[in-house]
Amino acid sequence: MNAPLHLFALAGSAPFGQRVARHLGIALATHEEKDFEDGEHVVRAPASVRGGHACVVHSLAGAAGHSSGERLCRLLFFVAALRDTGASRVTVALPYLAFARQDSRQQEGEPLTVRYVATLLEAAGADAVVTIDVHNLAAFQNAFRCRTLHLDGTALFASHFAPLARDADVCVVAPDGGGIRRAERLRQALAQEAGRPVALAFVEKHRHGSTLTGDLMAGDVAGKVAIVVDDIIGTGHTMARALRASREHGAARVLAAATHAVFAGPAANVLADAGLDGGAVADTVHDGARAGGLFTVLDSSALFAQAIRSLHDGVPMPG
């Protein structure tokens, strides 16, 4: 493509954006953000984007003083401003897609919020949306009418845990039935990296409101290092149940792996109390800062840079 690439990172996402920019071999473009005393704000696009391909990096994870809704609102205003200023294409790169878990109705009247987010981004002028390890891939793909590019973080975790899997018997554990495919992808990748078999297990889970139940554990973790893998660690209770179940069924060590380290409230303490020995998260939510000292933070910015370059050049993502 002949159009120049302009890479932006909105407030709160600049460190991640800087890493993406380094992988792309470009500098972050400058823009203006200003907060007013009455609570309003302005996000201004530069005139230099006219005729170019503008890419906006912005995590929608809420933080103190900036809820997920407010961060989404700023993103929508900026995407629209880029369009109004003359950008020929706008790509939105979301390290963390808030509201992605609101993808189905459990009872009458519940919103399909991920679909509404998609509608808003498209209405603002987004041509393509890039994200990683969404809660429900089919729901994400069906929500959008613009182009989407979904990144799989499995290789990050397989590379991280491979040295361990070469020296010890490992079992990848899904914390519920819905996570079996995710766990199987990691199991396959880890077995390939380590050059030896890796086992698979899953924990039964039923949710009734805020109450989690289920006692069954399918698979053999006895004497093995159990790696419980999930897309998100929110309050930590789902992960903690799986960690405890792995302990109770004889796991020698229990580790956790999750792409999005939301860690709401005392989640870090919930996992520590469950006997967590360590783990790994990606840098999609506040650079993994909430996860605490038991976790290694893995850099996912190269995946986003690769996706942005692929979209900009009009070529497929490398296999």
Q: Which residues are marked as active site?
A: 205
Please give the structure tokens belonging to residue 312: 């900009």
What SS3 class is residue 140? helix
How far are the Cα atoms of 97, 245, 251, 268 from residue 275, in angstroms, in the given order?
A: 29, 11, 11, 11
Radius of gyration of the chain (CA): 20
Query: Would you list the DSSP string of 278-312?
Result: EEEEESTTGGGGGG-TTEEEE--HHHHHHHHHHHH
- End-to-end CA distance of the chain: give it in Å, rounded: 21
Could you identify the residue written with the tokens 């990172």?
9
Please give the structure tokens belonging to residue 243: 């960690």
CB neighbourhood size of 252 (10 A): 15
